[in-house]
Structure 1
Amino acid sequence: MKKTNSELSRRTFLGNLSKAGILGVAGLSPVAAQAGSLLTPSSPQEPAAHAFLCKPYLQHPAPDTITVTWLTTRPCYSWVEYSAEGQPARKAHSVTNGLVDANNRLHKIQLTHLEPGKKYSYKIFSKDIAEFQPYKLTYGSTIESETYTFTAPDPKAKEVSWVIINDIHDRPESIPHLMGLSGQAPYDFVFFNGDVFDYQSDEQQIINHMLTPCGNTFAPQTPFMYVRGNHETRGKYAREWHQYFDNPGHANYFSFTWGPVHAIVLDTGEDKEDNHPVYAGIVDFDAYRAQQAAWLEKELQSPAYKKARYKVVMMHIPHYHGGEWHGTVHCREMFGGLFNKHKIDILICGHTHTYGVHPPEPGTHNYPIIIGGGPKDGNRTLIKVKADQKQLILTMLKDDGTKVGEYKV
């Protein structure tokens, strides 16, 4: 039956009213709602106010560089001004194939030629691009952040410390709570060992449930690294997830040396068979883990690995003490023999939601397997690692501050 104009107008009005109600229930501000997805520009009819969507967060710590990352509501030209104490400010922007990165909302700017161990201050700037014609670019207003500080990574430091969070599953309040357990002890970086989310929905979820709590707690001053769990591989936005994070080597699996530690990080993928109906034929994690195993075998024979005082591996799914699901068994087949052969010192995992310290079992795993807790109150954990020239000590705290595990190398 043909609808009248008045009926159509009423449907449109009610539809818009429903959308507004949904946004209100979700707790999204008008600016955030207008910002939308990274891949979807703001509506030309209702342009978003020019603003930062999160505080800057530090990524890709390396011997003489670090990357400052942030998001804006509108396409911009962005830069960072930074300096060491007593030195003139420098300006950094990102250049790709001769073009300065611009007209984008996700900003990643690498600060280079840093002196290891030295303290730097920085501010971020984003200049709105009001109009971008082939031969005429019109700028709007410029916004800037407050001044932040960080200490440049020093891979040759005598000691290193870091904290590990895993399996918080879309509970953003867990980030400041768990980070608060670290006390006054300094740490060089934060490591997220997978399943920060239940699944990937959109950009706003990443902002609300990770970037904002990290930004309000530590991320403008201290870098973090992040490996996927099996839940980060799920959802319609899983294929965009990687754009927001940048680890050493610009990869989802990677290695780095910091102080006396050489760390290897593996991306263990999904926990079910690739042909499981829930994946609808669009995953291939068996081949991906085999690819990592080939890389791992070379990495375990590298000079950096052999020279390091401590050899640490971090990955989400433990290949023992985690049941017999396909992902667990396949990780065992791909990685377990290599870990034993090349004598890693310690393996740190998550996934099971049952925290524990599993000592070496000769012939099975000749090294301890440490597993962090799960998302529920009373089961959340913070793992603290500190390594110097004498020992590496790992301490696991429950969310009430109680020590529930310890291991020394």
Structure 2
Amino acid sequence: MKRRKFISGIALAGATPALISTPSAVAAPKEGIALKDIKAVSPPVVQNPTDTSFAVSWMVNGTATGWVEWGTTEQLGNISRPAHHGLAAMSDYALSARVEGIPAGSDVFYRVVTKAVHYQNAYAIEQGEPIAGEIRKLTLPKANQDSCHLAVVNDTHDHADTIAQLADNINAADPDALIWNGDVYNQISSNQDMARIALTPGQKKEDPASGGWASTRPLMFTPGNHDARGEAARTVPEAFIPWPMADGEPKGLNPSPYTSGRYCFTKRIGPVGVICLDTGEDKPDSREVWGGMAAYEPYREAQLEWLVKALQQEEIKSAPYLIAFCHIPLHGLPGHNDGMGPKGYAGFSGFGQKLWLAPLVKAGCQMVVSGHTHRHRIDNPSKDFPMHQLVGGGPRENNATLIQIKADAKSLEVTIEDLKKKKVNGLSLSPRKV
């Protein structure tokens, strides 16, 4: 059995022990697939955009290595090869790479390349011919652009028809970025299912490596409670890549895109400051159902330490609009379980509210966007929760929603749409005084 290791942490000088993960098992190579038939079987999924970098993942159907060719023109000219500790990346379900060094302000062209690998023994390694995907143009969202357009989906739970329609609607809307706000999965039973569910939305039936909903725009992933369930959940960072850790260390020490990083992150897109937090599971760690395998309480506390510092970043402090995203709501309706007790499950995250609400309020956060309840709603500000809370629906076609957020210097407009593109709710925000 091959093994990979990844560390999930936060961008502080030293990684907080509460965010350290254990090694993840990698499935044995598939048998019976000819070398020439091993290829990419999903569109590339672009993630974690900065002004000068992005990450990308794609699914493969057999043991392969791969890389990304990129440049500021269609002639490309640069290569990003993922590796860890001197070993080139290899997988039989998902490959990932991080592209860095893009000139600030530039569009970027890229393609993924897949090459089959077969080990007979340590000195007899057979390789297939490299198979290059199509060249795609990617526009990275920037902090200094005049406006921002975000699309948000949640609680898709591997409902194929819902996801297909959402992908069509998102491609028609053409936002700057897509936020997948948790519960992508029901549970994760195999590495192949992990990769398929994460990486195939929007693919073309006639050519599964084409299309996609995040191949020409970036995806930003916020985990939900179901995204941590199942034996293969520990391989999720090999498809949903964590955000990079702090700068300053030699990249060549370990250029793997998924061996370190965090799922709490900030991003400035035009006038909007985005804060994403990982609410984790919907019950206490001590509950017997977890079999001693949950450690979310110290993980949320570590995110508080990160959040206090992240909110002091100038690009977040100066943003005309400030929005937080997390899968489980931070405020509940009357009778909702807070998820902190010995029975039931969270209708809202009491743990998250207790830790994160005060610093978010102090920083002037205007809205929290969540999912989890499978019914859309908008909560108005109150004395106890002095900001809007927007909850998306799903996963069935009659409950699923697409949230669109559009902002410029004058206003921020939110619409909640059903799968038929009918507006079912919405709100407007004015810029903050910063």
Q: Shorter-normalised TM-score: what interval? A: 0.7 to 0.9
> Is the Cα contact below 8 Å between 2:76 and 2:109 reproduced in 1?
no
Match of 2:153 among 143, 160, 165: 165
Give me the whole-angstrom Cα distance separating, in 2, the residues matched to 1:95 and 1:243.
13
The SS at the match of 1:196 is: coil
1:349-381 per-position Cα deviation (integer Å, ceiling 9, x unaligned): 1111121111111x2111100000121222110
**What residue is the counterpart of 2:9 in the other structure?**
none
**What residue is the counterpart of 2:224 in the other structure?**
229
**What residue is the counterpart of 1:245 in the other structure?**
240
**What residue is the counterpart of 1:101 in the other structure?**
88
1:262 aligns with 2:282: no
Change (3 A) 1:182 1:353: same
1:280 aligns with 2:285: no
Which amino acid in 2 is paired with 1:126?
Answer: T
Match of 2:196 among 191, 198, 208: 208
Match of 2:372 among 351, 369, 372: 351
Change (3 A) 1:76 1:300: same
Change (3 A) 1:190 1:393: same
Give me the whole-angstrom Cα distance separating, in 2, the residues matched to 1:313 and 1:350.
12
Give me the whole-angstrom Cα distance separating, in 2, the residues matched to 1:121 and 1:296.
33
The SS at the match of 1:376 is: coil
Give me the whole-angstrom Cα distance separating, in 2, the residues matched to 1:60 and 1:110.
9
Change (3 A) 1:245 1:209: closer
> Is the Cα contact below 8 Å between 1:395 and 1:405 reproduced in 2?
yes
**What residue is the counterpart of 2:247 in the other structure?**
none
Which amino acid in 1 is paired with 2:88?
Answer: D
Give me the whole-angstrom Cα distance separating, in 2, the residues matched to 1:382 and 1:45.
41
The SS at the match of 2:414 is: strand
**What residue is the counterpart of 2:46 in the other structure?**
58
> Is the Cα contact below 8 Å between 1:248 and 1:256 reproduced in 2?
no
Q: CA deviation at 1:46?
A: 6.2
The SS at the match of 1:123 is: strand
1:128-155 per-position Cα deviation (integer Å, ceiling 9, x unaligned): 2344755565433222212222113323
Can you give the 5+ residue segments of structure 2 that lack an aligned partner in the other structure?
A: 1-23, 204-210, 245-260, 340-345, 430-434
Change (3 A) 1:251 1:85: same
Give me the whole-angstrom Cα distance separating, in 1, the residues matched to 2:45 and 2:241.
11
Change (3 A) 1:153 1:340: closer
Change (3 A) 1:280 1:176: same
The SS at the match of 1:69 is: strand
Give me the whole-angstrom Cα distance separating, in 2, the residues matched to 1:406 and 1:73.
42
1:143-200 per-position Cα deviation (integer Å, ceiling 9, x unaligned): 2212222113323212221100001112022123123334744311111111111111
**What residue is the counterpart of 1:13 in the other structure?**
none
> Is the Cα contact below 8 Å between 1:264 and 1:313 reproduced in 2?
yes
Give me the whole-angstrom Cα distance separating, in 2, the residues matched to 1:340 and 1:88.
45
**What residue is the counterpart of 2:337 in the other structure?**
324
> Is the Cα contact below 8 Å between 2:53 and 2:100 reproduced in 1?
yes
Change (3 A) 1:150 1:46: closer
RMSD over aligned Cα, in angstroms? 2.4
The SS at the match of 1:319 is: coil
Change (3 A) 1:270 1:314: same
Which amino acid in 2 is paired with 1:197?
Answer: Y
Which amino acid in 1 is paired with 2:355?
Answer: M
Give me the whole-angstrom Cα distance separating, in 2, the residues matched to 1:177 and 1:114.
33
**What residue is the counterpart of 2:29 in the other structure?**
42
1:364 aligns with 2:364: no
Give me the whole-angstrom Cα distance separating, in 2, the residues matched to 1:260 and 1:91.
33
Change (3 A) 1:190 1:302: same
The SS at the match of 1:221 is: coil
The SS at the match of 2:360 is: helix
> Is the Cα contact below 8 Å between 1:77 and 1:127 reproduced in 2?
yes
> Is the Cα contact below 8 Å between 2:168 and 2:202 reproduced in 1?
no
**What residue is the counterpart of 2:71 in the other structure?**
83
Which amino acid in 2 is paired with 1:224?
Answer: L
User: How many percent of aligned residue pairs carry the same amino acid?
Assistant: 27
> Is the Cα contact below 8 Å between 1:172 and 1:210 reproduced in 2?
no
1:251-288 per-position Cα deviation (integer Å, ceiling 9, x unaligned): 12111222222211110011112222211121122222
Instruction: State which structure, 1 or 2, has the greater radius of gyration over its C-alpha atoms.
Output: 1
Change (3 A) 1:341 1:84: closer
Q: CA deviation at 1:76?
A: 3.1
Give me the whole-angstrom Cα distance separating, in 1, the residues matched to 2:99 and 2:292.
41
The SS at the match of 1:62 is: coil
Give me the whole-angstrom Cα distance separating, in 2, the residues matched to 1:82 and 1:302.
30
Which amino acid in 1 is paired with 2:221?
Answer: Y
The SS at the match of 2:149 is: strand
**What residue is the counterpart of 2:14 in the other structure?**
none
Give me the whole-angstrom Cα distance separating, in 2, the residues matched to 1:180 and 1:86.
26
Give me the whole-angstrom Cα distance separating, in 2, the residues matched to 1:190 and 1:66.
14
1:174 aligns with 2:134: no
**What residue is the counterpart of 2:141 in the other structure?**
153
Range moving further from structure 2, 229-238 or 204-213: 204-213
Change (3 A) 1:38 1:212: farther
Q: Give the structure with the higher percent helix.
A: 1
**What residue is the counterpart of 2:183 in the other structure?**
195
Range moving further from structure 2, 234-243 or 114-123: 114-123
Change (3 A) 1:52 1:122: same
Give me the whole-angstrom Cα distance separating, in 1, the residues matched to 2:198 and 2:84.
27
Give me the whole-angstrom Cα distance separating, in 2, the residues matched to 1:287 and 1:221.
36
Give me the whole-angstrom Cα distance separating, in 1, the residues matched to 2:312 and 2:428.
24
State TM-score, norm by structure 1. 0.83
**What residue is the counterpart of 2:251 in the other structure?**
none
1:110 aligns with 2:131: no
Change (3 A) 1:81 1:44: same
Which amino acid in 1 is paired with 2:138?
Answer: F
**What residue is the counterpart of 1:16 in the other structure?**
none
Give me the whole-angstrom Cα distance separating, in 1, the residues matched to 2:388 and 2:419.
22
